[in-house]
Amino acid sequence: MRISLIPALPVLIILIGAGYLLANLGLIPITPWQAFVKYWPALLVLWGLRIIIWDTIMSRFRAHKANSLIYGVALTLIGLHLLIPRLGIEGFTVTWGFVWPVLLIALGIQILLNKKRRASNRFIVRSLSRNQTSWYVDDLYLNQFIGDITLDLTKAVIPNKEIFFEIHSSIGDLDIYIPSDLPLHAKCRVTIGDATILDRSDEGVGVALEVKTVDYDQAERKLNLTVSYRIGSVTVRRI
């Protein structure tokens, strides 16, 4: 799902205008700005829940599930800690005695999600280039923080089986070149940046592309590609 900033802006303006109109008519006791100043921690709660639900529960990308759960839970708890007193709710507070068991539970779930993932190579900073002649293609699971990756499969020996590439990175560029006769099923997600897979392209915030060639299911030799980047550019082209 892509977050479009252009349609959201006029909707926000309309809501703010409607809020001030209702406040000026005396139909509501608070203006939008006063509501924001008083209840802004609700944004932290909503953002944390969004991360938990979208990036953890609904996401098809396993790396996002493992890496986002603790972050989403922490944001939600911080938001609740700040919001509950502002709402005047009595009898319930988010204390450290409540927070650490919840974080412990989230940590256990995160460990389970990590154990379900296939073993992968993890790097902090690394640039990877495989474009030499006749290199043998095998399953690739790569998780890194910063670095550029170039994979040229047109110069590789590709076995007659389904090859799995799973690549996750925080910052960097990914370029993959595949032979014109290699069937492809690619799922790509870029939080901020752009992606091009064969004849499909997208850019901006929340980029998500999925491309499956018509001959993929029947083929014996094929590439199954899963990519997730926080910030970067992803390109998959036929040569």
Task: Map out the domains of the chain as residue ranges.
Answer: 5-116, 121-238
- Give dist(CA 187, CA 202) in Å, integer: 13
Closest listed residue to residue 186, CA positions, set 158, 161, 163, 204 = 163
Do 179 and 152 form a contact (C-beta atoms < 8 A)?
no
Tokens coding 114: 């990590």
pLDDT at 115: 57
Q: What is the C-alpha separation between 222 and 217, in angstroms, rounded?
A: 9
pTM greater than the 0.85 cutoff: no
Give residue 216's pLDDT.
94
Say what the pLDDT of residue 21 is.
92
Residue 214 CA from chain centroid, whole number? 27
CA distance linking residue 161 with residue 164, whole number of Å:
10
pLDDT in tens, the chain (239 residues): 444 444 567 777 888 899 899 989 988 888 989 988 888 999 888 888 887 777 665 554 444 444 567 778 888 888 888 888 888 887 777 777 778 788 888 777 776 766 555 444 555 455 566 666 777 888 888 888 788 888 999 888 899 999 999 998 888 899 999 999 999 999 999 988 899 999 999 988 889 999 999 999 999 999 999 999 988 899 999 98
DSSP string computed for the chain: ----HHHHHHHHHHHHHHHHHHHHTTSSSS-HHHHHHHHTHHHHHHHHHHIIIIIIII-S-HHHHHHHHHHHHHHHHHHHHHHHHHHT--S----HHHHHHHHHHHHHHHHHHHHHSPP-EEEEE--EEE-STTEEP--EEEEEEE--EEEEGGGEE--SSEEEEEEEEEEEEEEEEE-TT--EEEEEEEEEEEEEETTEEEEEEEEEEEEE-TTTTT-SSEEEEEEEEEEEEEEEEE-
Name the phi and psi angles at 112, rounded to 5: -60, -40
